[in-house]
């Protein structure tokens, strides 16, 4: 039996999930900040991953998925991105090299 590797949310999924962080009950929006409806594919894949769950049915618009953030959804959006970690470590490395280079040049002047 093959174990499934945990998925990381796409940029679109993460953007949608982050919108629920500051909402009462973790309510996730139906529309993005530009007024466009979020893709049902994005919403359904987040539900399948366990990052969001259906909250209630909307009797006026039954095709709209009203969802809320789950605990695992909160966790996944709070984790740093692998790319940003790499960037941070590269910046730290460059800063260390610059500091070491400055120190060595200062020492050579003595």
Give pLDDT tens digits for 33-78.
999 999 999 999 999 999 999 988 878 888 888 999 999 999 999 8
Kindly provide the residue ranges of all beta strands, DSSP E only, lying in the chain, ordered along the sequence: 52-57, 65-69
Name which of 15, 80, 5, 83 is nearest 52 in CA terms: 15
Please say whether the beta carbons of 77 and 14 come within 8 A. yes
Whether the Cβ atoms of residue 30 and residue 36 lie closer than 8 Å to each other: no
pLDDT of 84 higher than 70: no
Q: What are phi and psi of 69, to 5 degrees?
A: -75, 140
pTM of the model: 0.66
Confidence of residue 1 (pLDDT cuts 50, 70, 90): low
Q: Is 101 helix (H, G, I), strand (E, B) or coil?
A: helix
Hey, where are the domains in the chain? Answer: 8-79, 81-110
Q: Could you tell me if 61 and 37 are in contact, meaning their C-beta atoms sit under 8 angstroms apart?
A: no
Q: What average pLDDT does this structure show over 12-32? A: 94
The residue with greater pLDDT, 2 or 68, is 68
Distance CA 58, CA 5 (A): 34
For 78, the token pair is 């709070």
């Amino acid at each position: 039996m093959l174990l499934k590797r945990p998925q990381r949310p796409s940029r679109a999924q993460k953007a949608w999930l982050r919108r629920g962080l500051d909402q009462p009950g973790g309510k996730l929006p139906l529309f993005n900040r530009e007024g466009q409806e979020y893709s049902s594919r994005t919403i359904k894949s987040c539900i399948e991953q366990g990052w969001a769950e259906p909250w209630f049915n909307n009797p006026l618009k039954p095709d709209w998925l009203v969802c809320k953030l789950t605990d695992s959804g909160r966790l996944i959006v709070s984790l740093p991105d692998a790319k940003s970690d790499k960037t941070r470590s590269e910046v730290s490395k460059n800063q260390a090299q610059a500091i070491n280079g400055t120190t060595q040049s200062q020492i050579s002047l003595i």
